[in-house]
C-alpha cells in the first residue's frame, strides 16, 4: 500500500505527497465514525484510485499534534514577533512559548521588522534577545526588507517540519516570501485603525522551503491554557523547571510558599521579573478556568 504525507487540507480533501506525486484524497468513513480527523503533517497509507486521486486508509502514530492550527508531527515552531508595528510583546511571546513547550515542540524565536526600529528600540530588543537566549531559546533577529537574518533561518528549517506562528501583522508571509520569493504569498499592511494585520492565510499547507517543510497557517486561533494544569505550568518555563527541586515544599506553585527557590531567583535577577509576572498571570488564568467535567 503506498505511503505519503498530507501536505495540504482544503474543503474536505487531503493532498498526500508520495514518491509518485501528489494525490487528492478523501478520508475513510471510519475516521468520521471514530472522530479522527486527518491532519496536515500526518504520515498515512492510502489507496490510489488513479494517478491523481485516492482514499486515506490509515494514519500513522503521531509524534505530536496541534489543534489550532491543525498540524501533526511538528518538529519546531518558528515564533514570529515584530520589533515594531506592532511593538514587541513579551507577554504574548511567553504565552506562545508555554503552549509550544506544553506540546513538546522546539520553539525558535524570530524578531522581524528591525528596519523600522530607532536606536532606543534596538536597545530594548537587544535586552530581550539576551534574556531569552540566556534561558536557552534560539533567537534570530531579521529584516525581510533588507534580507538581514535570512541566512540564519535557512539552516534551522532543513529536514524539519516547522510551524510559522505569531501575532497577526508581524510579517509571517513577508518572511516566507523572503525565504522563497516565487511563493508570492498574499500580505496585507497593518490596519492603522485596528493596529493589527488582517489574516491572509486561510488554510494549512506544508511548503517546501530551505530543504524543509514549513506550515504557513492562519495562526493560533486559541491561546488559552485549557489543557494545562496548575502544577504543570512551571515545567513550561525552562528557567523555573531547573530550580523546582530546590523549593522547600514539593508541589510549590511559587506564589506565597516559604523557601521558594523560584522567588529567590527572581530577587537575584536570575529569573527575569517580567517572566515571573507572566507566570503568575497565567497561573491565575488557569486557576479561574471553569472546571472540566468528564462525560
4 phi/psi in degrees, rounded to 5:
-170, -175
Checking if the pLDDT of 72 tops 70, the result is: yes
pLDDT tens per residue, range 194-228: 233 444 445 788 989 999 999 866 556 567 888 89
* Residue burial 57-84, b: 16+ Cβ < 10 Å; e: rest: bebeeeeeebeebbbbbbbbbbbbbbbb
What is the rounded average pLDDT of the residues 89-96?
95
Average pLDDT of span 51-76: 91
Provide the CATH number for the domain formed by 3-61 in this structure.
2.40.50.140
How does residue 99 score in pLDDT terms, banded at 50, 70 and 90? very high
Predicted TM-score of the model (pTM): 0.85
Domain boundaries, the chain: 3-61, 71-216, 230-287
**Architecture of the domain spanning 71-216:** 3-Layer(aba) Sandwich (3.40)
* Set of cell numbers at residue 144: 525581510
Would the pLDDT of 295 be above 70? no
Q: Are 15 and 39 in contact (CB under 8 A)?
A: no
| CATH annotation of 230-287 | 1.10.40.50
Return the number of other C-beta atoms located less than 10 Å from residue 114's C-beta: 20
Q: Which residue has the higher pLDDT, 181 or 139?
A: 139
Residue of 51, 65, 50 whose CA lies nearest to 103: 65
pLDDT of the residue at 193: 31
pLDDT confidence of residue 216 = 63
The answer to whether 3-61 and 71-216 have equal CATH topology is no
Amino acid at each position: 500500500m503506498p505511503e505519503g504525507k498530507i501536505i495540504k487540507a482544503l474543503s474536505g480533501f487531503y493532498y498526500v505527497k508520495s514518491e509518485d506525486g501528489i494525490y487528492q484524497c478523501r478520508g475513510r468513513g471510519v475516521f468520521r465514525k471514530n472522530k479522527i480527523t486527518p491532519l496536515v503533517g500526518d504520515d498515512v497509507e492510502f489507496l490510489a484510485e488513479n494517478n491523481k486521486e485516492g482514499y486515506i486508509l490509515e494514519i500513522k502514530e503521531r509524534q505530536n499534534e496541534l489543534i489550532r492550527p491543525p498540524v501533526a508531527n511538528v518538529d519546531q515552531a518558528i515564533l514570529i514577533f515584530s520589533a515594531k508595528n506592532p511593538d514587541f510583546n513579551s507577554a504574548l511571546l511567553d504565552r506562545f512559548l508555554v503552549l509550544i513547550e506544553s506540546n513538546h515542540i522546539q520553539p525558535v524565536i524570530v524578531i522581524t521588522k528591525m528596519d523600522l526600529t530607532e536606536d532606543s528600540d534596538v536597545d530594548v530588543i537587544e535586552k530581550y534577545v539576551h534574556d531569552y537566549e540566556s534561558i536557552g531559546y534560539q533567537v534570530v533577529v531579521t529584516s525581510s526588507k533588507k534580507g538581514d537574518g535570512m541566512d540564519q533561518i535557512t539552516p534551522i528549517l532543513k529536514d524539519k517540519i516547522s510551524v510559522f506562528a505569531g501575532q497577526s501583522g508581524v510579517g509571517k508571509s513577508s518572511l516566507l516570501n523572503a525565504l522563497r520569493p516565487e511563493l508570492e504569498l498574499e500580505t496585507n499592511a497593518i490596519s492603522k485603525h485596528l493596529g493589527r494585520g488582517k489574516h491572509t492565510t486561510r488554510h494549512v499547507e506544508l511548503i517546501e522551503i530551505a530543504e524543509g517543510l514549513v506550515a504557513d497557517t492562519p495562526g493560533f486561533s486559541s491561546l488559552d491554557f485549557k489543557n494545562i494544569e496548575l502544577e504543570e505550568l512551571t515545567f513550561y518555563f525552562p528557567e523555573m523547571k531547573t530550580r523546582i527541586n530546590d523549593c522547600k515544599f514539593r508541589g510549590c506553585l511559587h506564589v506565597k510558599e516559604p523557601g521558594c527557590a523560584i522567588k529567590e531567583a527572581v530577587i537575584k535577577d536570575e529569573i527575569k521579573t517580567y517572566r515571573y509576572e507572566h507566570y503568575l498571570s497565567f497561573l491565575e488564568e488557569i486557576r479561574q478556568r471553569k472546571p472540566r467535567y468528564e462525560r
